[in-house]
């Protein structure tokens, strides 16, 4: 028998502190083991920001970690606000041209704090006293805010590759991620030395205006360089190599390149609010751009102001993104509160992670009594999706040993 699937939709305030104002719909998909046993809840918080939860398949069961999760849990896959089947954000769903100031104000309610309030609304709607949460990447940022703000709603917490820095400015975060990506780029070229010349040829084509998107617009060299994002993902170095071994004038090259770029029109929220997820208070001010050491290397999950000029799908959001870059964001984490929350949990930190700096993750881990840490040097940032059953199994065992 296949697992049972039930869909849930609730209406929540855009601003949870203004319950009578604008509202949004939030969607979540519940998956229960085929035996029907009553198991505790596990909420999955997807990476991003701006990406929906994975779409499960039942035969075979996917994502890979889901089968292991259903042994112990009833799983809830949450589409974070603005994504998936929750009220979506983007040009297809809101009238254009937008008032950039109004749009920026709207998007100030799309960070981890609002997502956690949505999860709390779902918990109350479902009549659940306490549940466990699993956060991948940005989902881990949400988990840390959850521990900081609503610890009494949680049984235990699990984080894979997403322990955010607490109290550090985004400039420090992005300087560290630039350095990490340089190391991964050097490792890639040691593994595939022929790719250096191939990449140079592609960049020359782009610089001359001879590399065109499928819609006919130019692919700038600085956009091409963002394909370095792949080097932070498990299997991404191979994906980049397989791209570069193609003739850049072949019909497959540009579509394959576009598919590997981190930001674009399918998930505009990912680009528009990306830097804000690192703002534990203060103004981001295009931190990734200000800390870029030079322009001769690959970049990755670093959003720059020019993204909203070079990518036609992001141009409509340019004025809004620039206003958000100057917004003074509130704090997301309370270090004092975290230090007294003795709640069981486990977190895996990836060694060569260009998205979440290992050193900062370990600093955060030290703030969390009850959370067991695991340093993994065999996977990159999306390890949960690659080797989900064994990683999740170890996280569950570590948390329960600590409890």
* CA distance from start to end of the chain: 33
Distance CA 62, CA 64 (A): 5
DSSP H helices, 159-226, are: 170-191, 195-207, 221-225
Q: Is 239 exposed, middle or buried (0-12, 13-18, 19+ CB in 10 A)?
A: middle
Catalytic residue among 53, 86, 137, 237: 137
- Residue of 282, 301, 280 whose CA lies nearest to 232: 301
Q: 377 an active-site residue?
A: no
Distance CA 135, CA 277 (A): 14
- CB count within 10 Å of CB 305 equals 14
Q: In Å, how far are 185, 361, 388, 396 from 352, measured between CA atoms?
A: 11, 12, 18, 23
Distance CA 75, CA 39 (A): 9
Peptide bond into 81 cis (omega under 30): no
Q: 137 an active-site residue?
A: yes
Specify whether the CB–CB gap between 386 and 235 falls below 8 A: yes
Distance CA 173, CA 291 (A): 9
Contacts of 269 (CB under 8 A, 6+ apart): 48, 49, 50, 82, 83, 89, 90, 107, 110
Bridge-based pairing of strands 61-62 and 4-13 is unpaired
Q: 328 an active-site residue?
A: yes
- Residue of 47, 45, 1, 2 whose CA lies nearest to 380: 47
CA angle 37, 155, 26 (to 5 degrees): 80
Length of the chain counted residue by residue = 403
Active site positions, annotated: 137, 328, 381
């Amino acid at each position: 028998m296949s697992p049972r699937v039930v869909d849930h939709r609730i209406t929540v305030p855009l601003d949870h502190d203004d319950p009578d104002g604008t509202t949004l719909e939030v969607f979540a998909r519940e998956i229960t083991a085929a035996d029907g046993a009553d198991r505790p809840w596990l909420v999955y918080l997807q990476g991003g920001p701006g990406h929906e939860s994975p779409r499960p398949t039942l035969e075979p069961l996917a994502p890979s970690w889901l089968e292991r999760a259903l042994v112990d849990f009833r799983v809830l896959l949450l589409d974070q606000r603005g994504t998936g089947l929750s009220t979506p954000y983007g040009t297809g769903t809101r009238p254009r041209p937008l008032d950039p100031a109004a749009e920026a104000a709207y998007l100030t309610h799309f960070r981890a704090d609002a997502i956690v309030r949505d999860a709390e609304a779902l918990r109350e709607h479902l009549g659940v006293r306490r549940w466990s949460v699993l956060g991948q990447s940005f989902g881990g940022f949400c988990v840390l805010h959850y521990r900081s703000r609503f610890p009494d709603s949680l049984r235990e917490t699990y984080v894979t590759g997403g322990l955010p820095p607490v109290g550090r400015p985004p400039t420090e975060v992005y300087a560290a991620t630039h350095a990490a990506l340089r190391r991964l780029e050097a490792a890639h070229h040691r593994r595939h030395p022929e790719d250096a010349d191939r990449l140079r040829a592609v960049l020359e084509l782009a610089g001359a205006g001879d590399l065109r998107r499928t819609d006919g617009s130019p692919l700038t060299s600085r956009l091409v360089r963002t394909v370095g994002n792949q080097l932070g993902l498990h299997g991404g170095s191979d994906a980049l190599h397989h791209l570069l071994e193609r003739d850049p004038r072949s019909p497959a090259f540009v579509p394959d390149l576009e598919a590997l770029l981190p930001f674009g029109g399918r998930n505009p929220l990912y680009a528009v609010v990306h830097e804000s997820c690192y703002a534990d208070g203060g103004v981001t001010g295009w931190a990734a751009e200000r800390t870029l050491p030079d322009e001769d290397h690959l970049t990755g999950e670093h959003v720059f102001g020019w993204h909203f000029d070079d990518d036609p799908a992001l141009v409509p959001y340019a004025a809004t993104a620039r206003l958000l870059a100057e917004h003074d964001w509130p704090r997301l984490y309370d270090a004092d509160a975290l230090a007294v929350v003795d709640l069981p949990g486990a977190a895996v930190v990836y060694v060569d992670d260009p998205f979440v700096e290992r050193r900062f993750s370990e600093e955060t881990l030290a703030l969390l009594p009850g959370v067991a840490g695991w340093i993994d040097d065999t996977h990159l940032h999306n390890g949960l999706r690659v080797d989900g059953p064994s990683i999740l199994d170890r996280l569950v065992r570590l948390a329960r040993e600590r409890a």
